[in-house]
Amino acid sequence: MAANHLHPLLCLALAMLVSLDFSCTQTGITSRSSLEAATGASWSSLSGRFSFGFYATEGGLAVGVWLATVPNVTITWTANRNDTGTGSTLRLADDGRLLWTGVGDHDRTIARPSRLAVTGAVRDNGNFVMFVTDDAVVWQTFESDDTLVAGQELVPAAQLFSSVSDTNKAVGKYRLANQQLDDNLVLYPVGMPNDAASSYWNTGTFDLGFTL
């Protein structure tokens, strides 16, 4: 994690020089970091543009990522969208999972990386990422299913699900599918199969060979 120990200004300058997705993070979230559950309790990206932490929602608190620079905060990702709670602490467990402890009488898994994660960080593009020791990203909120932000991809076979409302991020009635089989981008009601009769809109890009 050498990049995370650089001075933030030096890090920014480097990022501008090389125009890369440089690992400039204000907060390296390690097994020693934790966040007490409270509205607005969060870790921020380098510029403060995005935050990751607890926000208030119908039914309690949710864990998510939000764009913090507009008058009304915009939620861009929510963990376990249908489950709110009032747990005690968010922390990186020894087994590499990101845990919300004490929700009801159990711990809730927020992230289960494919390899043992040692650090997490909120990036300035809104991606909350978890790393292993060689800096490889093993989990990221950009694999999200609710919102696309600039720089994020909806990869083939991925879907976006609507929210119940602006204030309730539980899974709503509609989904947008990037269909791997025919390269078409199609809107369906949730619970309906991926077939033409169920769809209500599409980009008409089937079999054009678009790939990401």
Ligand X SMILES: *[C@@H]1O[C@H](CO)[C@@H](O)[C@H](O)[C@H]1NC(C)=O
Could you tell me the sign of the dihedral formed by the alpha carbons of 29, 31, 33, 37, in that order?
Answer: positive
Q: Which of 31, 82, 198, 203 forms a contact with ligand X (CB under 6 A)?
A: 82
By CB under 6 A, is residue 72 in contact with ligand X? yes
Q: How far is the CB of 69 from ligand X (least distance, A)?
A: 12
Q: How far is the CB of 199 from ligand X (least distance, A)?
A: 20
Instruction: Rank residues 106 and 173 by Cβ distance to ligand X and give the closer one.
Output: 173
CB distance 65 to 122 below 8 Å: yes
Rounded CA-CA distance 89/101 in Å is 5
Q: How far is the CB of 53 from ligand X (least distance, A)?
A: 20
By CB under 6 A, is residue 79 in contact with ligand X? no
CB distance 125 to 52 below 8 Å: no
Instruction: Rank residues 31 and 82 by Cβ distance to ligand X and give the closer one.
Output: 82
Rounded CA-CA distance 40/56 in Å is 8
CB distance 28 to 121 below 8 Å: yes
What are the tokens at 142?
């950009």
Q: How far is the CB of 92 from ligand X (least distance, A)?
A: 27
Q: Scan residues 151-180 and list those touching ligand X (CB under 6 A).
A: 164, 170-171
Instruction: Rank residues 91 and 175 by Cβ distance to ligand X and give the closer one.
Output: 175
Rounded to 5°, the CA angle 51-59-94 comes to 50
By CB under 6 A, is residue 98 in contact with ligand X? no
Instruction: Rank residues 6 and 171 by Cβ distance to ligand X and give the closer one.
Output: 171
By CB under 6 A, is residue 149 in contact with ligand X? no
Nearest alpha carbon to residue 141 among 51, 7, 35: 51
Q: Which residues bind ligand X (CB under 6 A)?
A: 71-72, 82, 164, 170-171
